[in-house]
Amino acid sequence: MSRTAEIRRLAAGDESAATAELTKLFADLFGLAAEGVAINRDQYSLNSLNGFLSAEGEDYFFKFHQEDGEEAMTGEYYRADILARAGLPVDMPVFVSNLPGEQVLIYRRRSDPRFSDVLRALDIATLEGRRVVAGEADAVAAERALDASIARVYLESLHPVGVAEAAAEPIHRLFHDRLVEMPGRRFPGGRLASFYLGNTVRLPGIELGWDDFASRRLVFNGRPYRRTIGELFAAAGARLRPASLADAGGVVAHGDAHNANVWYGRGAEGPVLSFYDPAFAGEHVPALIAEVKATFHNVFAHPLWLYDPAEATQRFSATVKLGEGTLVMDTDWALTPVRKALLAAKAELVWKPLLSSLKARDLLPGDWSEVIRLALFLCPTLVMNLRAGATTHTETSSAIAFGVAAMVGSEPETGEDDMTSFLAAIDPER
């Protein structure tokens, strides 16, 4: 087990032991005599750990991302310099270790909130009937400014990539690598196998074995979806193989810009956003998955259900019924206005220009929407175990989770939903 994996394990049950190991790690990697090391309990740290320390009279913030089997990873990680050279707003770390198994970033401590915290407060206000329109306007304006910068970099950096270049990008650790057993990429494996295969899915009033659950077509909030959860995993295992994603070229990208990796600062003319924790940044990131994590985790993962299952369970309800080969799930969950505005900004300012440029350069594969859907589907299902009781999910939040996963991954049999509207907005033929 790598040092960062061991520290994350200790942090779950013995914080004093974890902080002692962190102190040793900072000394070994950076020669820092760290004091007051404290772990930040953070609902957004699903695969990472962050916290605070002081050294030589300075206050710092640390963060590291830790993946399963990280010690076997190849390539370079935490390349903030890539983003800075491209002109993206990125907070540069003071100390960096990009060694597999010991990947750590240390920043000067900031008082700015993360964008995720700002948006969560706006979501809560809306759900409680006290919507903060001015705050939403500020947040959306900041998002639109960042999206314009991202689009500029994507269009300037877009280039054909070879299979080896595309496959070497670390962003695949967030997608296909979580579906397979390494080495050899044996499917099914990885998190797909450990989270779901052979296990039980508990939903409100219903308990199913995985094979039964995964073979049923979901009817989510009144809409039947064409593909089952099992079919979506199989399709993702085939189409999202790293070597298969070279067909749409590559771009310079952060790759994992969910809003817990974005600072919400104040500039002369209002709020400004800046990245940090570029664990999966790259220069040849496959273009069709470069903005997927930011799109899902900043929009569809909210309000509340992915990161705050207990809170979501208090605020939303879900009912589930078995049908003939179907699972009918009805919830009162829906995107809030600010999340819809963020999705519209992503569609207008990032996705549509990118896809149009891909088409103009003959780099847009015919199944581009399939690739986007499958990558979006993997965001919630493999970032954490969605089964009730396996981690923090309840039966209610698990029903919402699998319903949203089906919505983003599969076309509905009839009608439109938030995902079909998004794809229509970014279609370069329209």
Amino acid at 103: Q
pLDDT grade for 264, boundaries at 50, 70 and 90: very high
Q: Are residues 266 and 332 in the same domain?
A: yes
- The pLDDT tens digits of the residues spanning 281-332 come to 999 999 999 999 999 999 999 999 999 999 999 999 999 999 999 999 999 9
**H or E element at residue 138:** helix 133-157
Query: Look-up: residue for tokens 């999206």?
Result: 147
Q: Return the closest-CA partner of residue 127 out of 337, 344, 380.
A: 337
Q: Are residues 150 and 39 in the same domain?
A: no
> Which residues span the domain enclosing 408?
115-426
Q: What is the mean pLDDT of the chain?
A: 94
Instruction: Specify the pLDDT at position 247.
Output: 96
CATH of residue 27's domain is: 3.30.200
Instruction: Specify the pLDDT at position 282.
Output: 95
d(CA 342, CA 273): 14
Q: Are residues 370 and 308 in the same domain?
A: yes
Instruction: Specify the pLDDT at position 252.
Output: 98
Total domain count, the chain: 2
Instruction: Specify the pLDDT at position 77.
Output: 58
Q: Which residue has the higher pLDDT, 8 or 284?
A: 284
DSSP letter, residue 119: H
Q: Are residues 358 and 378 in the same domain?
A: yes
d(CA 100, CA 71): 5
Q: Are residues 357 and 398 in the same domain?
A: yes
d(CA 288, CA 216): 29
- What would the DSSP string read from start to end of 1-36? --HHHHHHHHHTT-HHHHHHHHHHHHHHHH----EE
Q: Are residues 245 and 382 in the same domain?
A: yes
Q: Are residues 26 and 147 in the same domain?
A: no
Q: How far are the Cα atoms of 146, 260, 275, 281 from residue 291, in angstroms, in the given order?
A: 13, 15, 14, 11
pLDDT grade for 397, boundaries at 50, 70 and 90: very high
Q: Are residues 250 and 347 in the same domain?
A: yes
Q: Are residues 305 and 325 in the same domain?
A: yes
Q: Are residues 159 and 262 in the same domain?
A: yes
- The pLDDT tens digits of the residues spanning 32-80 come to 999 999 998 888 767 788 999 999 999 999 988 766 655 544 444 568 8
Write b or e for each residue in 115-128: b if 16 or more Cβ atoms lie within 10 A of its Cβ, otherwise e. Answer: bbebbbebbbbbbe
Q: Are residues 264 and 411 in the same domain?
A: yes
Q: Is the pLDDT of residue 427 over 70?
A: yes
Amino acid at 407: M
Domain boundary among 63, 84, 108: 108
**H or E element at residue 68:** none
Domain boundary among 39, 73, 108: 108
Q: Return the closest-CA partner of residue 12 out of 39, 52, 51.
A: 39
Domain boundary among 73, 108, 143: 108
Q: How far are the Cα atoms of 58, 300, 343 from residue 425, in angstroms, in the given order?
A: 47, 16, 10
Q: Are residues 124 and 103 in the same domain?
A: no
- The pLDDT tens digits of the residues spanning 80-122 come to 899 999 999 999 999 988 777 788 889 999 999 999 999 999 9
pTM, to two decimals: 0.93
Instruction: Specify the pLDDT at position 279.
Output: 81
By the 8 A CB rule, do 255 and 176 touch? no
- The pLDDT tens digits of the residues spanning 172-218 come to 999 999 999 988 899 999 999 999 999 999 999 999 999 999 999 99
Q: What percent of the chain has pLDDT over 70?
A: 97
Q: How far are the Cα atoms of 174, 203, 243, 407 from residue 240, in angstroms, in the given order?
A: 11, 29, 8, 18
Query: Look-up: residue for tokens 């790598």?
Result: 2
Q: Judging by beta carbons within 10 Å of its beta carbon (0-12, 13-18, 19+), is residue 289 exposed, middle or buried?
A: buried
